[in-house]
Structure 1
């Protein structure tokens, strides 16, 4: 997320003193501390000063993250273009098969059957005939479904759906790999902390069961305040 957006979101937040920081824990500590102080964050350093910046490695990884994100978006566009082409050629889906209702005369014959009659040649002829017809209908529907799936697979193979999806999956994995490297790199300034916040935003980590981004940010703030 752009720094200006983060700073705008932080306007109006209360001041946070050292005691309050030390009383906060986990994700709450990270969010409260960064929201209150984000307005004081300076702009990202120029290329000339980058190598001397305390968070030079995080800035380098941030650039790598942007490149990985761009590659992922490009692969997503490729997949969407292929999907649109395939959708135009896909045959209609076969209707959903449902077992037909049992006719009244068949139902009466079925109700008259004993447990011993089930699955034997003693089944009433009218019920046996209806049961066999239902099985044939189900088999015919399954053949339609298999043929439809085969045609879909043929079209997708022709346009390289599998290869495109593999490339997209690889780009997503690469993006998250850079994100993990960013989270594993300690931040020494608010600029570095902003980079970690962008990771949380870009990778949607706030919805993760274990929020690695906020855990990492909280650890940095504890270290800054001498709690760690």
Structure 2
């Protein structure tokens, strides 16, 4: 009914009656709105018992993709750095003791080993070995310093730090997912995916008895969840 008709019909009413009519219309409108909301709520599907796991699964998939992208960056920058690394110095190994030095060494007493009474031939060889080892240590330290410099300036250190952050994010999602009880096979499948995304294996190259049991259970869960 148009508002003009309602107002016209109400003009002859006492003020109190007009007020009651307006209040009645407002109450009716509120009740109708409440019924509409209640009906909509009644028609809405019930939330899945594993809805929280599904949401975390989707969020973990995003974090997992970001982790993989960060890993690719590390590999790309790492290959660039490998072309810049200097030759690695050989690992130092103590040389074999010459026979004449061995004879002099075997003739020494325990007391002679820590004094200036050591045979000259043995003392000379021992000092030479120490100098060789110190020189090799210097080469190793210089190589390591250059290696660190290349990694830092080429962006490998920053890339690895970023990758570490992404790995921690994925691990945190796995912990949250595994801390929530699953109510359906679909929810259990979410936990299997979390296990794989964090580097876990279901079917290993070398399987033991308990590995076969876990792989069989995982296959059953996936099949019953409709993922097989």
Q: TM-score higher than 0.5 here? A: yes
Match of 2:110 among 102, 115, 122: 115
Runs of 5+ consecutive residues of structure 2 not aligned to the other structure = 1-43, 203-213, 222-228
Which runs of structure 2 are paired with 1:8-157 in the superposition (5 Å)? 52-157=47-152
Cα 1:164–1:51, aligned 2, differ >3 Å: closer, same or farther? Answer: farther
Q: Secondary structure in 1 aligned to 2:83?
A: helix
Instruction: Note the alpha carbon deviations across 1:26-74, whole angstroms, 9 max, x for none.
Output: xxxxxxxxxxxxxxxxxxxxxxx99833322221111101101001101
Contact 1:72 1:171 in 2 (8 A): yes
Deviation at 1:109, TM superposition (A): 1.4
TM-score (norm 2): 0.65
Match of 1:172 among 148, 167, 176: 167
Paired with 1:204 and 1:82, the residues of 2 have a C-alpha distance of 23
Q: Secondary structure in 2 aligned to 1:89?
A: coil
Cα 1:58–1:132, aligned 2, differ >3 Å: closer, same or farther? Answer: same
Instruction: Note the alpha carbon deviations across 1:126-145, whole angstroms, 9 max, x for none.
Output: 11111111111111111111
TM-score (norm 1): 0.65
Q: How many residues align?
A: 164
Aligned residues: CA RMSD:
2.6
Q: Paired residue for 2:15? A: none
Instruction: Note the alpha carbon deviations across 1:88-124, whole angstroms, 9 max, x for none.
Output: 1111111111111111221111122122211211111
Paired with 2:199 and 2:147, the residues of 1 have a C-alpha distance of 33
Q: Secondary structure in 2 aligned to 1:153?
A: helix
Tell me which structure has the larger Cα radius of gyration: 2
Contact 1:50 1:56 in 2 (8 A): no
Instruction: Note the alpha carbon deviations across 1:147-182, whole angstroms, 9 max, x for none.
Output: 111110110111122221111111111011111211
